[in-house]
Chain A
Amino acid sequence: MPTNILMPALSPTMTEGTLAKWLKNEGDSVESGDVIAEIETDKATMEVEAVDEGTIGKIVIAEGTENVAVNEIIAVLLEEGESADDIGDVSKDAPVSTPKADSADSEPDVKPQSDASAEQHDGKEIENRDILYAQGVVIEPPPFDEASFTETKEMTVRVALRDAMAEEMRRDDTVYLMGEEVAEYNGAYKVSEGLLDEFGAKRIIDTPITEHGFAGMAVGSAMNGLKPIVEFMTWNFGMQAIDHVLNSAGKTLYMAGGQLGCSMVFRGPNGAASRVGAQHSQCYASWYAHVPGLKVVAPWSGADAKGLMKAAIRDPNPVVFLENEMLYGATHEVPTDEDFVIPLGRAKIERSGSDVTIVAFSIMVGKALEAAAKLAEEGIDAEVINLRTIRPLDRYTILESVKKTNRIVTCEEGWAFSGIGAEIAALIGEHAFDYLDAPLARVTAADVPLPYAANLEALALPQAEHIVKAAKKVCYAD
């Protein structure tokens, strides 16, 4: 069979070009790699090389022809033993190369985002959860029978995190911990206390102060089969490494077509501590939650810390785990069962109520509960949702609550602009607009870098009283 030589596309934007010059004539033999023609694209003059060997049987498009479309037949190549007579009517049976169209039944079994409000997937077991999340479909969170974990022990959040890491390291010897001061110093905030003693220097690794470098190394090791836990002394210093968190860890699975990803955890304290100034006090929740390919978790209680850390380590994806220094020392009852693993993507209703929904995460959960107690004294029954996971967001639980209470206040320690509250506002606007009895209210940090002075710092950070005020406002009780 004679082979058609097609007009090649020689730049990403080229759709047609000029066949400037033929360097071979009919009857000339060519070998692969021979330059056979020159083509002017929209950007430059390019040489066209032969791919196959044979003899030029026919030149279809003459030298000097302009506007030759990409993929048009420009010449026909004959194999050994073929002659020009074997060439049929070129124009008629020109092969049209069109990409194979997907058959209809390969379409995903979900509706596009605009129809998402109809999709609640009630009761049914949900497959391909991540695809549905990506498409913005509202689905029930993964099931979890938290009440069945009845045996508990009192411990600090700090110890809960440590125990979670230790348990998972015993369970899976590919898990290791790396960061500044994590080993010999036992952690700058003592979260890794005792881990060096138990697991040794091979698995508990002190690094130089080179966040970009060691985060990248950890990503490489995750690609190569390990499960790193990267501690950033605080998330403020994780900024040095944000490129690797987003571009290397967050996007690899997608860019590799699913062949390899990064099962790893980036963890450390997030948000304001106390009087440490603007560069050391920032909430990164909305920064990382913006990025598809990452999961973002923010525990509040000891149980959250333990169950979510274990889930994060076991998760096959990169998980950004946002702790809070102010919470490390708080004590809570924590389930002791080694299988206490809180599914990512499931919020917890910390207090049920009927008048107003208060959504919070991390340190703001405690402040929301404090506010709910004050509101109760004034006859307002608030429901407090602890998000636990920020991405994927448990949209279902938030929407169900709002449909019940018809009022919502969001709380976060970060700034309002493009914050988690803004995302929840969009969610409510898209899916629960008709249920609202009052405009949504957001409680956030003041829109300024965090000041150092004690009085200004207190003014800048959101407090329980702000939540009370906002809740009363949406209840028209102010």
Chain B
Amino acid sequence: MAKSNTSKKSNDKGVKKPNVKSGSNSKADPSVEDLQKLYRDMLLIRRFEEKAGQLYGMGLIGGFCHLYIGQEAVVTGISSVQEPQDTVVTSYRDHAHMLACDMDPKGIMAELTGREGGYSRGKGGSMHMFSKEKGFFGGHGIVGASTAIGTGLGFAHKYKGDNGVAVAYMGDGASNQGQVAECYNMAALWDLPVLFVIENNQYGMGTSVKRSSAGTLYRRGEGYGIPGEQVDGMDVFSVQDAARQALDYIRTGNGPYILEVLTYRYRGHSMSDPAKYRSKDEVKTMKDDRDPITAIKDMLQGKGVEEAEIKEIDKEIKAIIAEAAEFAQESPEPHEDELWTDVLVEV
């Protein structure tokens, strides 16, 4: 595991490259139950996103719609080792994070269609949903904003002494925003319980990391004394292991931690992106050789789980998604009076 720590002289030794074969990083020998749970969680995200893409194509979802397909292992791995009091914040590519926070697929999908049954009663849209109850704090459209908000969530955890950790997700592109550096400094200065997760999917819109970012993203905290680590994000167990360690480190009062997760989005940046900036081969290779869901499925089969049993899970997920899509289409548009409500809290 690649780590950087200011107390030791850091180097790039042992940095994981994304071409490591999936599953090969984990020393753990997961139980069939664990595998089934991870498979189910990741499949839920994938099927949800596929359905969202479909509804977008039908004109039922408007504006921007950023799909998470390919990146499922990241949020699934991390959320699987979080504690209930932890909080999560991310950018506009947020559907999966909400599902991972155990938010209701119906409410998420209905927000995508802009309906009354949506988490924001249709007023937020795909990029702006929240659930205080589930510890999910959005859903932010401005690149970089989730980092500062996440640092604030961590500040509140420490202030309240609730032993919670804030998980602040950002993209590789976002990691170049000035406020990220400012937050690293404050989080380290005040030992805030924040796990900064850089979802390095290799591109910020059409700009590859190579063309946007100098140095190494997970090492950008070194000057502030924040340990960083790079991990294979196509392998849910690697993510899980790294996140578990990082969360332990943070929860025992050591301050923030940076996890750079190497991952890949199969689809365009948003629905309107033809993704001409990368080769079809590149995408195909990732899909064929590194798919996190296929990897788990293979492991299940390796453990002797019958194809029929796996199909059962697929069916179960399919039903949940179908129900969500139906709800999202049947839920009415918000009442016209909703236009004027929620601007301020009534006093």
Contacts and interface: CB of A to CB of B under 8 A. Distances in A.
A180 B173 CA distance: 11
A273 B125 CA distance: 14
A454 B122 CA distance: 9
A180 B205 contact: yes
Interface in B153-209: 173-174, 176-178, 204-207
A431 interface: no
Interface stretch (A148-156, A205-213, A326-334): A205-213
Interface residues of B, number: 40
A451 B340 CA distance: 10
Interface stretch (B10-18, B19-27, B138-146, B226-234): B138-146
Interface stretch (A109-117, A406-414, A442-450): A442-450
Contact of B125 (A181, A185, A239, A277): A277
Nearest to A241: B178
B339 A446 contact: yes
Interface in B315-347: 333-334, 336, 338-340, 343
Contacts of A279: 127-128, 140-142
Contacts of A239: 142
Give the contact-size bracket for chain A: 35 or more
A210 B142 CA distance: 11
Contacts of B127: 277, 279-280
Contact of A209 (B62, B122, B177, B277): B177
Contact of A276 (B122, B125, B205): B125
B124 A452 contact: yes
Nearest to A450: B123
B338 A456 contact: yes
B212 A208 contact: yes
B142 A452 contact: no
Contacts of A237: 142-143
A212 B339 contact: no
B52 to A, nearest CB: 14
B266 interface: no
A456 B118 CA distance: 14
B340 A452 contact: no
The 10 closest A-B pairs by CB, nearest first: A275-B62, A452-B125, A453-B122, A275-B63, A279-B141, A453-B114, A185-B206, A277-B125, A276-B63, A208-B176
Interface of B: 62-64, 111, 114-115, 120-128, 140-144, 173-174, 176-178, 204-207, 211-213, 277, 333-334, 336, 338-340, 343
17 contacts: A180-B207, A208-B213, A209-B173, A209-B174, A209-B176, A209-B177, A236-B142, A237-B143, A280-B127, A448-B340, A451-B338, A453-B114, A453-B338, A454-B62, A454-B333, A455-B334, A456-B123
